[in-house]
Chain A
Amino acid sequence: MSSEAISQQTGAPVVLSELSVGKKGRVVRFDLPPDQAGRLAEMGLTRGSVVELVRIAPLGDPIDIKVRGYHLSLRKREAAGVVIELL
């Protein structure tokens, strides 16, 4: 079972890089160096904000997310440090 499926059943947090296309989540916390977490927050990806995974680039990385009404692209490496709860 994918971690996303587990999360759906248990409510356990997943990371943004594992969200599937079209799904939404709410940011819980960051497992990232403070400068990176700070930057993501300033770009609107704050704790409590809602993100949607819009698409994954054809080569598998980076990802395109929608947050606060706009599209932002980041690599899976950093997205793996954004802990979310599924909505």
Chain B
Amino acid sequence: MGSPVETADAVRHVAIAGNPNCGKTTLFNALTGMRQKTGNYPGVTVERKIGRFFGSHGEPMLLLDLPGSYSLQVRSLDEAVSRDVLLGRREDTPRPDVIVAVVDASNLERNLYLVAQLLDLQLPVVLALNMVDMAEQAGIHLDIKGLEEALGIPVIPMIASRGVGLIELRQALSCQPLPMPARKAPIPEAMEREAQALAQELKSAPEVAYSEALLLLTQHEQGLKEQADAATVQRVQAAQQRLRSQGIDPLSALVELRYEWIADICARYARKPEEAAYQLTLSDRLDAYLTHRIWGWLAFVGAMALMFFSIFTLAEYPMEWIEAGQEWVGELAKAWIPEGDLQSLVVDGIIAGVGGVLVFLPQILILFFFLGLLEDSGYMARAAFLMDRLMSSVGLHGKSFIPMLSSYACAIPGIMATRTIENPKDRLVTILVAPLMSCSARLPVYILMIALLLPQGTSWAKAGIMLSMYALGTATAFLMAWLFKRTLLKGETPMLLLELPPYRLPSLRNIVIRMVERAGIFVKRAGTVILALSVILWALLTYPKPADPEIPRGEALAQSYAGKMGHAIEPFIKPLGYDWKIGVGLIGSFAARELFVSTMGMIYNLDDEHAEEVDSVKEVMAKETHPDGSPVYTPLVCIGLMVFYVLAMQCISTVAVVRRETNSWKWPLFQIAYMTALAWIGAFLVVHIGRLFGFS
């Protein structure tokens, strides 16, 4: 977010912890307003949200929104970050002074499990009992005093979405000194002794040693070996053996005892209505339709179609405005800067580069608006529930579906949307295959090649070819996902554990904040890379300058570095039936696929006005011949080129986003390599199999 977050004067560091779907982020937004900032934890792609708020005496405090987690015994990257911050293991984030444990009052039993673990941390804890209105609606009778007494920590009833309870929460956080939890969550006595003994031997700081010891003691063998050195593993295993000999299973005894404790607390102080009075909630009734065999699919297809259609159509207008604005600024620059290299750099390099970044913004904003709606309403989990079977057939998770679908519009928001996939391998596979889905930038290329291929074709035939290109991309994406899950990113198929939260009215405020965040991340981080690469590409197409400035631009382009590269790659693309001019087109469109049309226009000496038009480019291309007089753009070459563009990466913006989302250059480079190889093989097969069957 825009406003800076001043941290130096904060008197307290407050961390918000809680399960996913408990309203953590709503509470964070309610406390901080716009005084917040989103970034990444260094080294991992886990979102780090910090903000600033004021205690009840106006003292500034720092607020950290930890990623949602179900347990400190971690299973995902998000949970690992939460645990590490709470245990003070991260150098970039100091250990908090107090924890706000947010729980959903209508789903108290499971939510309190994490709270029980937080009580072990030897930090002050304040319980934000959120969504008390939902609990009341469900007929749950909450006894706040009783809960405070049983848990030993202050309990603040809240409705964060309406700001109810914020004043009381601020008061509790301003308390001087902050009270430590008056109680500990129960633990089998023998286990506590072992944990205390183990804590003495760990090298951790004394205030976290007990928690660390307890987490190790309840860890299974595999997890232990990943977390601790050999000596510690041995020590822990010996302790586990001693416990087992006393009939205590270290892995399950603590969890079971704590759930018993929680169930007892809930039975007393969060009484549910009698079974007889219990009615199906609105959420349950909605689910009967939204996950129904027929209605469920209709609703799903409808929702996806609406989202997809909006990205395609609504985004068109702002995209046109941005393009018009870019042109206007370009004209302005032309008027101010004298003709020459500087003008060309500013207009064709920088302004075109910035425009190339901004033009994606409308699609990103619209997609994230819909994703926010789907996520906040609880429908996203149902979509994953519906699609999981299909996606698991290629080894992916139901949650991979929406990023892949979004990539039909544009791979950039699709790849940014993969953050909802917890499993890092699944997420990476989804990122790797998402650009294979035919995005809207491929359309101009398809349209040009289809026009060349079928000058007299009916609309149906043209649409048929177009559709088969989309099908080819989709099938390849699934095939590659399957392949990657079996080779490169092999590993246990992680189990699906998907909470289906009750449906809720989404909060517009949360959604808008997240939209702006995403847009900011894209412009700031990806934008700089895109701009730099655009300038480099501009230089390749411009330099070295021809000695004679009057020669046609096609020849000037031929002499440029890009032209030379076109010549240099000719041997590699000759088997595909391409000449060096198509090679220049491929290089020129490396930044963005749609640039293929204008680069081809330039190389065939069209003037500015005509180079952008598919029809005029098509005409000159149709007349183009090899030196021996045979046409360059035979039907097979046209189909081959289309297949090439279906499968090739050809998009700097996607490269930049993948680099950002995977935190390394390794994966985007791999992606360019494998997709270019696929594209070459695809085009090669088209041309050569076609020739075998007597086509040309």
Which A residues form the contact surface with B (CB < 8 A)? Answer: 34-44, 46-49, 54-55, 57-62, 64, 68-75, 77-78
CB < 8 Å: which of A37, A38, A58, A75 contacts B291? A58
Further 20 A-B residue pairs, CB within 8 A, beyond A62-B385, A73-B385, A73-B499: A38-B218, A38-B255, A39-B495, A40-B497, A41-B252, A41-B255, A43-B497, A44-B109, A46-B259, A57-B385, A57-B386, A57-B389, A58-B291, A58-B297, A61-B388, A61-B389, A62-B498, A64-B385, A70-B110, A70-B500
- Bound Cα distance A60, B398 (Å): 14
Does B244 interact with chain A (Cβ within 8 Å)?
A: no
Q: Which residue of A lies closest to B75 (CB)?
A: A39
- Bound Cα distance A43, B70 (Å): 7
Does B225 interact with chain A (Cβ within 8 Å)?
A: no
Q: A35-B220, A38-B251, A46-B259 are in contact. Are A75 and B495 (CB under 8 A)?
A: yes
Closest A-B pairs by Cβ, 3 of them: A59-B389, A71-B500, A34-B220
Q: Which of B494-546 contact A (CB under 8 A)?
A: 495-501
A47–B252 touching, CB < 8 Å: yes
Could you say which residues of chain A place their CB within 8 Å of the CB of B381?
73
Binary per-residue interface labels of chain B (288-299) against chain A in the complex, 1 for a CB within 8 Å, 0 otherwise: 000111001100
Q: A35-B222, A62-B388, A69-B107 are in contact. Are A44 and B113 (CB under 8 A)?
A: yes
Q: A62-B498, A64-B291 are in contact. Are A48 and B256 (CB under 8 A)?
A: yes
Could you say which residues of chain B place their CB within 8 Å of the CB of A54?
284, 287
Q: Which residue of A lies closest to B294 (CB)?
A: A58
CB < 8 Å: which of B222, B252, B496, B498 contacts A46? B252
Could you say which residues of chain A place their CB within 8 Å of the CB of B688?
none
Does B406 interact with chain A (Cβ within 8 Å)?
A: no
- Bound Cα distance A47, B255 (Å): 10
User: Whole-angstrom distance from the CB of B226 to the nearest CB of chain A?
Assistant: 11
Most chain A Cβ neighbours within 10 Å, of B108, B113, B218: B113
Could you say which residues of chain B place their CB within 8 Å of the CB of A62?
385, 388-389, 398, 496, 498
The B interface is mostly helix, strand or loop, or mixed, namely helix
Q: Which of B595-620 contact A (CB under 8 A)?
A: none
Q: Which residue of A lies closest to B221 (CB)?
A: A34
User: Whole-angstrom distance from the CB of A37 to the nearest CB of chain B?
Assistant: 7
A47–B256 touching, CB < 8 Å: yes
CB < 8 Å: which of B110, B223, B263, B388 contacts A57? B388
A75–B388 touching, CB < 8 Å: yes
Could you say which residues of chain B place their CB within 8 Å of the CB of A73?
381, 385, 388, 496-500
Binary per-residue interface labels of chain B (563-584) against chain A in the complex, 1 for a CB within 8 Å, 0 otherwise: 0000000000000000000000
Q: Which residue of B lies closest to A71 (CB)?
A: B500
Could you say which residues of chain B place their CB within 8 Å of the CB of A75?
388, 392, 495-496
B291–A59 touching, CB < 8 Å: no
Q: Which residue of B lies closest to A78 (CB)?
A: B495
User: Whole-angstrom distance from the CB of A66 to the nearest CB of chain B?
Assistant: 9
- Bound Cα distance A40, B496 (Å): 10
B499–A55 touching, CB < 8 Å: no
Q: Which of B46-95 contact A (CB under 8 A)?
A: 70-71, 73, 75
A68–B110 touching, CB < 8 Å: yes
Does B390 interact with chain A (Cβ within 8 Å)?
A: yes
A58–B292 touching, CB < 8 Å: yes
B496–A74 touching, CB < 8 Å: yes
Q: Which residue of A lies closest to B259 (CB)?
A: A46
A64–B500 touching, CB < 8 Å: yes
- Bound Cα distance A69, B498 (Å): 15
Does B272 interact with chain A (Cβ within 8 Å)?
A: yes
Q: A34-B251, A46-B252, A62-B388 are in contact. Are A39 and B497 (CB under 8 A)?
A: yes
